[in-house]
Amino acid sequence: MKRLLIALLIVVVAGGGAWFWYERSHRSNGSTYRTEQVKRGSLLASISATGTLEPEDTVDVGAQVAGMIKEFGTGADGKPIDYNSPVEPNTVLVRIDDSLYQAKVEQSRAQVRSAERKVDQAKAKLESAKAKVDEAKANTQRSEADVQSARAKLTQATRDLERIRRLISSASAAPSDVDAAQAAYETNQAGVGVSTAALAQARASEIDATAAVGDATAAVADAEAAVDLAKAMLRQDEVNLGYCTITSPVKGTIIDRRVTLGQTVQSSFNTPSLFLIAKDLTRMRVWASVNEADIGQVSSGQAVEFTVDAYPNEKFKGTVDRIRLNATNTNNVVTYTVEVITDNSSGKLKPYSTANLRFEVARRDDVLLVSNAALRYTPSQIPAGTELPTRAKDDKAKGDKAKGEKDKGKVAGSAGAERRDHGTVWVLENDTPRPVEVRIGLSDGNVTEVLSGLTEETTIIAGESRGGPAADSTNPFAPRAFGTKKQQ
């Protein structure tokens, strides 16, 4: 009896072990496939980037003079200038205290009047010098006439003296006549000397008068130059006075006001910024940072779609305007700034908001599409006798190598990644997966265009769910509640 019980116990244990082995083997080999159908649709390939919304054109209004902010002007809406105020060209934005500049203008005006009076005085001296020149010339002419008269008298006296000397030899003239003729000769000779000296003096006076005219003319020029300088200083002071009233150079909207009443601005070396004006907020620019690996796929005129956090469910359209060549390098990451123009007639887009952009690289309509998961899928157990495509073999070998390197702690790449021109998908035939090599095209990261190898409505495998100890870790010998089904 005891041997019978032992034998029965052995049979029960062996049978339970056999049943457990069968159940475990059945679960480990059994798989539930997730399938999908090849469908036609549209595909848009794009690259993503982030950027910042900026006004298309801004004007930074500053102050060219120093002083205290006295008052703000009035915007186009009739309200004092403030944030978001609409302005027109020449709208008064702010007035700076102009007391010192007004006084400087008055001082310069007085200097102009003083300089003009000096010009009049210099011109009067010039006219007086010219009159003296005319007088000196007249004196010179009179002296020349006197010299000619004295020379004529000397000639006459010389002749009279010679005639008297001839007569005295013949006793026709008295000695007193000779003395009188000699005295007349000497007197006329002295008169010629005096007249010649007077002529030289008159000519010297004429030269002096002419030089005085030159000096007076130079004095007039200096006085006129002083007037020009004073007027230039006056214009400068008037311009500085005008700078105390700061106006808008353009039509736009004030997006930043950087001063308050009573604040003193200084413009010594750097021009202080008072207001930032956006010229036209109906058109905006997005400054997007595009990675150097993607910049080759961006070009002017390219369509762009983007969203902002304020309207996450609304998509905005834009167009690439230009690509800036001054790249930035941050932590060895090179990015380029791409400017995208977008319409903002609705006024929803606000300056300096963050934008999430998608640059449209290529588009395909009415093409066969498969998921990238299906292209990456490989059965956990390939049926015996299955002939793998060459590319699938290469992918499997790379996948095994990557797995081995990963097990050894090495960094491995994505060995099972899809190829750019070919791929492999698996279809079910009699509940058995079979590989099909396909030629692929464009991809958007989720689905890929199939150029050949599949037809529409073909059922392909996208993944699988496998049974095993992880799926059912209960003890096979433990009792089950009534109605409990075995997990598959």
* Multiple choice CATH, 46-55+278-365, 3.40.50.720, 3.40.50.1980, 2.60.120.10, 2.40.30.170: 2.40.30.170
pTM metric for this prediction:
0.59
How far is the C-alpha of 448 from the C-alpha of 452, rounded, in Å?
A: 12
Average pLDDT for the chain: 82
Those residues whose C-beta lies under 8 Å from the C-beta of residue 425, and which sit 6 or more positions away, are 370, 374, 375, 377, 435, 436, 438, 453, 454, 460, 461
More confident residue, 398 or 93: 93
- Averaged over 34-55, what is the pLDDT? 91
More confident residue, 381 or 330: 330
**DSSP letter for each residue of 68-104:** EEEEE-B-TTSSBS-TT-EE-TT-EEEEE--HHHHHH
pLDDT, residue 286, reads 96
The single-letter code of the amino acid at 251 is K
**pLDDT band of 205, cuts 50, 70, 90:** confident
CATH code of 101-243, in short, is 1.10.287.620
The single-letter code of the amino acid at 110 is A
How far is the C-alpha of 74 from the C-alpha of 81, rounded, in Å?
A: 5
- Averaged over 225-243, what is the pLDDT? 95
Residue 342, classified by CB atoms within 10 Å of its CB into exposed (0-12), middle (13-18) or buried (19+), is buried
How far is the C-alpha of 240 from the C-alpha of 274, rounded, in Å?
A: 17
pLDDT, residue 459, reads 87
Please work out, in degrees rounded to the nearest 5, the angle formed at the alpha carbon of residue 235 by the alpha carbons of 232 and 239: 140
Dig out the tokens for 114 from the structure.
């003083």
- Give the domain ranges of the chain: 30-43+370-466, 46-55+278-365, 64-97+244-253+264-276, 101-243
- Which H or E run includes 181? helix 175-243
Residue 72, classified by CB atoms within 10 Å of its CB into exposed (0-12), middle (13-18) or buried (19+), is buried
* pLDDT beyond 80 at 9: no
Least confident of 2-6, 243-247, 432-436: 2-6
